[in-house]
Amino acid sequence: MKKNAMELDQEELQIIADFERGEFKRVKNFDTEKRELEDAARNTLQKDRRINIRISSRDLEQIQMRAAREGIPYQTYISSSLHKLVSGRLKEKG
C-alpha cells in the first residue's frame, strides 16, 4: 500500500486492505441497482409533513447555538435530532 498524505482511520484502512485482497465484487446491473438505491434514499429522506410546536425561548436559543456550532440551520438540526431519536441512533438520558 502506498503512503498517502491523508490520515486514514481504522475503518478506511480496512476497506483499502480488503480491496487490495480482492474482497470486493462488481455489482451486476450496476445502473439498475444504483437507481433503486437512489430512489430508496430519496423516499426515505423526503420531508413530506409539516408540524408546528411551541417550545421555550431558552430551549430554542440552545438549539440555535448547537446548530450554529454544527454549521447547519436550526430547523435541520431539530429534524436530524428527531430522526436520530426515532431511528435508535440517539438515546434518551435516563
pLDDT of residue 3: 55
Residue 57's pLDDT is 96
What is the pLDDT, as a whole number, of residue 75?
92
For residue 42, the model assigns a pLDDT of 76
pLDDT number for residue 5: 65
Q: What is the 3-state secondary structure (H, E, C) of 8-40?
A: CCHHHHHHHHHHHCCCCCCCCCHHHHHHHHHHH
At residue 64, the pLDDT reads 96
Place of cell 498517502: 4
Q: Going residue by residue through the chain (94 aa), what tens digit of pLDDT does each one get?
A: 555 567 889 999 999 999 899 998 888 889 998 988 888 777 776 777 889 999 999 999 999 999 999 999 999 899 888 888 888 887 767 6
What is the C-alpha separation between 65 and 60, in angstroms, rounded?
9
For the question of whether the overall pTM of this predicted structure is more than 0.85, the answer is no
Q: How many residues does the chain have?
A: 94
